[in-house]
């Protein structure tokens, strides 16, 4: 039993250290949030689907940003870049979000309406 006392002490010390580490991490996170509020913070971009068109047709985002396609048409559409991303059917009034993780230019189409084309540029 006596052997457990120092062990518990060490464990508590470790726990204390961990608490301090987490507190430091929290402070750093807050600082980062403040600095990043302008240029670096991930953004959400909106593309409205209306009148059989993606608006805007071409969108440029940064890696980590989210793109939200909102279907304002009375029929379903898709956002499909073969081999990269595919919303599948987005019903009227619904939306689909995609987090752009890889840099590149991705042309996409609506598989239900061949005239609908858009482009997502990820930097
Ligand atoms: Cu469509």
pLDDT digits (tens, 9 = 90+) for 74-106: 999 999 999 999 999 999 999 999 999 999 999
Report the separation in Å between the CA atom of 89 and the middle of ligand 1, taken as the mean of its atom positions: 9
pLDDT digits (tens, 9 = 90+) for 113-123: 999 999 999 99
Architecture per CATH, domain 44-122, reads as Sandwich (2.60)
Q: Are 122 and 102 in contact (CB under 8 A)?
A: yes
Boundaries of every domain in the chain: 1-41, 44-122
Q: How many CB atoms within 10 Å of residue 106?
A: 17
Report the separation in Å between the CA atom of 2 and the middle of ligand 1, taken as the mean of its atom positions: 74
Report the separation in Å between the CA atom of 1 and the middle of ligand 1, taken as the mean of its atom positions: 72
Q: Supply the pLDDT for residue 16.
A: 60
Is the overall model pTM greater than 0.75, yes or no? no
CA separation for the pair 6, 11 (Å, rounded): 9
pLDDT digits (tens, 9 = 90+) for 22-68: 566 555 555 555 555 455 799 999 999 999 999 999 999 999 999 99
| Surrounding residues of ion ligand 1, Cβ less than 5 A | 77, 110, 112-113, 116
């Amino acid at each position: 039993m006596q052997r457990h006392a120092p062990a518990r002490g060490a464990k508590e010390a470790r726990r204390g250290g961990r608490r301090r580490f987490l507190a430091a991490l929290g402070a750093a996170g807050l600082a980062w949030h403040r600095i990043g509020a302008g240029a670096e913070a991930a953004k959400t971009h909106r593309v409205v689907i209306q009148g059989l068109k993606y608006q805007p047709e071409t969108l440029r985002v940064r890696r980590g940003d989210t793109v939200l396609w909102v279907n304002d048409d009375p029929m379903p559409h898709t956002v499909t870049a073969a081999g990269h991303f595919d919303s599948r059917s987005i019903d009227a009034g619904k939306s689909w979000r995609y987090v752009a993780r890889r840099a590149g230019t991705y042309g996409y189409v609506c598989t239900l309406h061949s005239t609908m084309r858009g482009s997502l540029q990820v930097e």
